[in-house]
Structure formats: C-alpha cells, structure tokens
Chain A
C-alpha cells in the first residue's frame, strides 16, 4: 500500500495523455510506412523527410494564407504528389530487384531532401502557430487543447484510411495487391497504378503529421531523423506491414516512454523503445501485435 502512495497519480494522468497524443501522431506516420512496406516490400527511409517537408509546406501555406486547416490539406496533397513522383522515378524501376537497392535508393532520396530543405529554408527552426491557443487546467498544469485536437485528428485520418481500405473498391485492390501481387494482376487490377497511389497516400499521411506536429516543436531540416527512427521501431514492433499492429505499437511505445519519463529524464526514456525493440526481435520477431490483420 505504501508503494502505491509513492506513485504520483496526477503526473501519471498527465503522462498518459502526453503518451497518447505522441502515440497518435506516431501512429499516423507509421501507418503510411507500414502500408508501403506491406504492399511493395520497400522500407521507405525518406518517410521522415516527407514528414519534415510536410511541416515546411505547412509553414509556407500558413504564412501565405494564415489558414492552418488550409495549410494542413494543401501540404498533405503536395507531399502526396511528391511521394508519387519519388516512387515513379526512384523506386518503380527497382521493384523486383534486391531489396538492398530500394533501401539505398530511399536513403539517397532522404539525404537529398534533407539537404534541399537545409539549402532552401536554412538551419534555423521555423515556427507553426497553433490554430488555437486555448488551455484547460489539469491539476497544476495549463494543458493546451490543441494537443488533444492533434490526437483526435490523427485518429480521424487513420479511421478514414481504415474505412477506405475496408469498404472501397480501391481499398480491396490495395489489400488484394498486398496479399498476392501476381494474382491481383491476373484479376485485372491495375497494380502499377495501385502501387503509385499507395505510395502517395503514405507520403500524404506523413506530410499531414508534419503539419499537425509542427506547432509542438520547431520545424527544421533534420526533424525527420528523430521520427524515422521511432517509426521504424514502431513498424517492426507492430509487425512489418501490419497496420493495426503499428497503431497499437505506436501508442504502446509512446505510453511506455511517457511513463518512464516520470522517473528518468525524457532523453533517457527513449531507451525504453529500444529495449522493447530488442525484446521483440528476440522473442516475437514477427511483431508484438502479430495478427493476420493486413
């Protein structure tokens, strides 16, 4: 009983909310990555840079129009188109070759985009203003409403993706292509087009996450690096290509890190996700949340 009293319940609640908010953003980034991996066996190392460029396009559109929501939609669409262009020029010619070639290719794209951002926007972080600045009080804290809105919006976008995959004709095409690409072709499904669209959807989701997350941190050319690492951990822990698993893993790992930050510094708390990654690879290499939900 005495042990229970040492747990700070107020902080526990705050960290639960923080963990879920970060987890939902992470889930949004990771679902794009895992969707792409599931259908074409490509680990897109440039995914973090698409997130970063999404944030920058958000800054630009927000600066020009002053409308955050317009910036969110516009940046997502631009990044989706950019994703399609990257797929067509650097990945499509390599499909079916050694997986190492696509790894190198996306890694090269990642470096290129990072340095483009550095050259174009400079090293100084830019700021995206929150669309609204309201707070509510949570114990001794003023907790910004915007953080809860991020979590809800991320959930809404993931929910929309799920409905699209589950019920739409195009969603059936995507799932069929993921399960058996050759048979999908034999059924008349335009597989080259499906792959391009999936890459664009994944990229657009990364772009959207960048704009949503922008107000919480500065927008800078290397912000993609932190995310790609964490996203890869989430995708591996969730089971490569498993959408539901990635979402569960994103929330699970973010919550663990948030709780760990109660006792150690946030920088040290990051170790938790690596521990989870190593344990997963040792004991459940097909993913902690392995199911057949593709």
Chain B
C-alpha cells in the first residue's frame, strides 16, 4: 500500500512572527516532480498584507480539479478528483470535455490524457479553486503527468500573483519545504527578517502540529 496524501482537508494557519517592516508577500506552491525544466511552478497561494503579528487561515483540500483548455483557450471542466487519478480529455458530442478515466494513476500522481484526435490541449490542475500546476502543449494521444508530493514550498516574494508561473529568480530564493504528510492542522510560522543590521533571513517552520 502506498501512502501519500491526506483524506481530509488540512487546516493551515500562517503566522507572521517576523520583524518584516516591508510586509513581504508570502508565496506557497507545490512542485511537479514530473515537470520539465521549462515548466515553472505555479504560485498556488499568495498571502499579501499579512503584517507581523497577524495570521491568515487557509485550507489545503485533498481533492484537485482538472480543467483542460484547447488552443483557442476554450475551457473544459472542471472535473474533481484526487491525487492518483486519471483524467481523459475527449469529445462529448461536439464539445471538448474532461472525464475521469477508468484507470488509476500512481499515488501522488495526476494523469491527464489528451484523447482528442487533432487538437493540442493545456492541462490545468487546481486545488481549492486555485491553479496549482499546468502542462501546456499536450499533443493528441499524449498524457500530461503531474507528480505532486504532499508538501508546500514557502518563501517570500514580490511581484508574484496567484495562478502565475514563478519567476526563476524568485524561485531561487524559496528554500523551505513543509511536509503535509499526516497533518490535520498546523501553524506555518514565519520568523526572521528586519530592516537593520541585526536582520536575519526569513525562516518558515511548522508549529502546533496536530496529526490526523
């Protein structure tokens, strides 16, 4: 039996215990381990205007949604499912549609097969209604593979928007991976920072962890 993710939504509470005077935005994202170097991670959640001493609650649901868009940008879906599921994009009468496939993907993987005869698609994976990962240019009869570890990368960033690819320069500053394996709830605590000579790099850690 493979163990990968959580069966229930994980309640997360971002706590800003830093000395940051600049109100830096915090970006959270998952990395697609099956991606190519050209596939930049997507900013799944951006927490802006969370000043020191304040908190921000959000959830990490176990379900994901898949939306396919054709070359004209016309969307099909969303269809909800779980990690370890297999989605098929094909024709439903005259329209492009997304459906759950009969097979299962490997644990932690989402497969999106383009069953259209001619058109390329872009496969979009969303979590909690926000874009999590994307694979463009999926050729007919080819499959987009998303391999998502149960973890969130977290760091500070400027000029980053939810649903947008993270700039390589910003990505290089994100150093912390927080595991969600087995969690029911936890605080993500940000510390460090400061604008004077005593400032330290921002640090992120899990605290007040409650296991499922």
Q: Do A and B bind each other?
A: no
Q: Which residues of A contact B (CB under 8 A)?
A: none
